[in-house]
Amino acid sequence: MQQIDSDKQHLIVDRMGRRFRNLRLSLTAACNYACTYCVPDGKRLQAAAYELSGEEIVRATQLLIATAGIDKVRITGGEPLLSPKFPAILQGIMDLGLTDVSLTTNGQLLPRYARGIIDSGMQRINVSLDTLNRERFREIARSGDLNTVLHGIELMQAGGLKVKINMVPMHGVNDDQILPLLEYALERNIELRFIELMNMGHLQASPAYAQEFFSMEQILDRIGKQYTFSRTDAPFDSTAVRYEIPGSGTFGIIANESEPFCRNCTRLRLSSNGALYGCLSSARSTNIRQLLALPDAEAQVELHQVLLGALADKQSENFQGEVTVMKFIGG
């Protein structure tokens, strides 16, 4: 594929100096969990109609690398390991030669795909895990098995991957798990990242958001009861604020509310049915399915226009939340 000329490529930068570098690919909207904070009433989401094929997803990624200068790709969903396209897409994306390709998964199917992931050469993986308590696990995820996830994490580490765990602490639901999970992570050289509950999907119309929101300050306060820590460096476009516990390890907080990262956001999301989103906090998107069939040069010119619009959708300061469910657009 020819590169779009470099002058044009550099034009896709907004007045705040932001450009797209990180692409999140949602392979499917379907999930084998129905987490309380993600979907209402235990309704698991199904695969969207007209999902992109594996070839289309790889083609889109290739075009976005060439047109926007994407240099990091995260494979996500829905639950990416639930998609039968996962092995082919993993291979296709790894073959594009990026130095940073990662995966976000709930870990339930990790044991099944561990060998393939390790052999693909992927270096790092994020596993979502909100509790180490078996029953609580099923109350939050409304499915799944804790031990299977823990086994999957072990397999990833044994295969040499760097593992991060994502936890969403919720007041009165799993905030008592902050310290046990941190201890579990520190003992295994895993970086635990606490995600402040985001006001998305059904939470927008529910009192649960205000009741369960557990802030960065509250998280730090809880950790301070057992550990001494100090703030440490994070990459400029990192979503997480990072802390070091001397001699023990690090942890991070993705503080959407308390310390929004919109000003440095470099993320772009491709939904499983081909819609490109510039901001998690905006429902605006453009479907790029049709342009994927165009010859390279034409596709890049059209994509360039789409990307300008997507960049303009980014919030300048704060995460506002959206009715869009995270798993539709790639968490």
Q: Which residues bind ligand SAM (CB under 6 A)?
A: 31, 37-38, 76-77, 79, 104-106, 128, 166, 168, 195, 197-198, 200, 203, 326-327, 331
CB of 321 to ligand SAM, least distance (A): 9
β-pair partners for 73:
23, 101
Distance CA 244, CA 266 (A): 25
User: Under 8 Å CB-to-CB from 97, ≥6 apart: which residues?
Assistant: none
β-pair partners for 125:
103, 163
CB of 60 to ligand SAM, least distance (A): 19
Residue 300 CB burial class (10 angstroms; 0-12, 13-18, ≥19): buried
Tokens representing residue 197 in the block: 């509950």
CB of 2 to ligand SAM, least distance (A): 34
Which residue, 73, 80, 30, 28, is CA-closest to 52? 28
Q: Closer CB to ligand SAM, residue 65 or residue 192?
A: 192
Q: Closer CB to ligand SAM, residue 30 or residue 63?
A: 30
Distance CA 24, CA 269 (A): 5
CA-to-CA separations, 122 to 51, 94, 276, 309, in angstroms, rounded? 24, 8, 24, 32
Tokens representing residue 258 in the block: 């308390």
CB of 326 to ligand SAM, least distance (A): 4
Q: Closer CB to ligand SAM, residue 200 or residue 291?
A: 200
Q: Are 209 and 197 in contact (CB under 8 A)?
A: yes
Tokens representing residue 281 in the block: 């906090």
Tokens representing residue 230 in the block: 């100090």
Q: Closer CB to ligand SAM, residue 144 or residue 278?
A: 144
CB of 232 to ligand SAM, least distance (A): 22
Q: Closer CB to ligand SAM, residue 286 or residue 324?
A: 324
CB of 37 to ligand SAM, least distance (A): 4
Ranked by CB distance to ligand SAM, the top (closest) residue is: 331
Q: Closer CB to ligand SAM, residue 91 or residue 206?
A: 206
Q: Closer CB to ligand SAM, residue 82 or residue 299?
A: 82
CB of 7 to ligand SAM, least distance (A): 36
